[in-house]
Amino acid sequence: MLHRLPAKHGKSLNVIVETPRGSRNKFAYEPALGLFRLGKQLPAGAVFPFDFGFVPSTRAEDGDPVDALVLLDSATFPGCLVRARLLGVILGRQTGRSGRAVDNPRLIAVATKSPEYDAVETLSDLPAALVDEIEHFFVSYNEASGKVFTPLGRHGPKGAKSVLTACAASHAKRMRKDSISPLRRVSSERGRPLTAPPSASKGPA
């Protein structure tokens, strides 16, 4: 069902929460099962600073939907659909245990139903210490998993929208490719010349 959900609802951003604020447990959505599984636990004393999830119908360079951190007054729950508006993006490059490096931007948004952050319009409206804390969380979170997250810069809503547009286009391209491949296989099979079964050998009359 989630794969049919668009990235946006009108002017609002759709974010599916995987891990709620204050949780040590990292949950991950499994599309094949339609369930959220427990992925891992953060080290003692470390928790998610805000609700963390993804934007459906997008595809980042690592092949997963683009990540989003949502500011709101209290925690929700895994699988909750939160309508939000973009504040900005923390650009970063993530290097996995295999040594493969990919761009892994983290969108920062605020829930449209959040009275506490209602006046916040852009990333620069937040206290610098809070943004530093969020960025440090992504660095330490990856470090605990044996990965390296290197921040590459912060941008406001315009930069975040550019990232979102690119990830949505990547998803749409992948969907078109997946839908065309089966048709090509069928077309190839239909165009394949029929092979007559081998004739039975005849014995002497």
CATH code where residue 124 lies: 3.90.80.10
Residue 109 forms part of a structural domain: yes
Alpha-carbon dihedral angle through residues 41, 57, 31, 107, given to the nearest 10 degrees = 0
In terms of pTM, does the model score above 0.75? yes
Beta bridge partners, 14, equal: 83
- Give the span between the Cα atoms of 149 and 152, in whole angstroms: 9
Asked if residue 189 is part of any domain, the answer here is no
Any domain includes 16:
yes
**199 vs 93 pLDDT, higher one:** 93
147-188 pLDDT, tens digit per residue, is 999 999 999 999 999 999 999 999 999 988 877 655 455 455
For residue 48, pLDDT beyond 50: yes
H or E element, residue 102? strand 101-103
90 CB contacts (<8 Å, ≥6 apart)?
105, 106, 108, 131, 134, 135, 138, 151, 153, 154
Q: Give the number of domains in the chain.
A: 1
Question: Is 192 within a domain?
Answer: no
In a domain, 61, yes or no: yes
Q: Which tokens belong to 59? A: 């595809």
With beta carbons less than 8 A apart as the criterion, state whether 108 and 160 touch.
Answer: yes
At residue 51, does pLDDT exceed 50?
Answer: yes
Structure tokens at 42: 């953060």
CA distance 154 to 119: 20
pLDDT of 200 strictly over 50: no
User: pLDDT tens across 70-116, in order?
Assistant: 999 999 999 999 999 999 999 999 999 899 999 999 999 999 999 99
Please give the average per-residue pLDDT across 189-196, as a whole number.
51
Residue 184, in any domain of the structure = no
Confidence category of residue 143, pLDDT binned at 50, 70, 90 = very high
The pLDDT score that the predictor gives to residue 4 is 83
Domain-located, residue 194: no
- Window from 104-113, 127-136, 143-152, 192-201 with minimum mean pLDDT: 192-201
Domain containing residue 35: 2-175
Helix (H) or strand (E) holding 154: strand 148-155
In a domain, 82, yes or no: yes
Structure tokens at 47: 């928790």
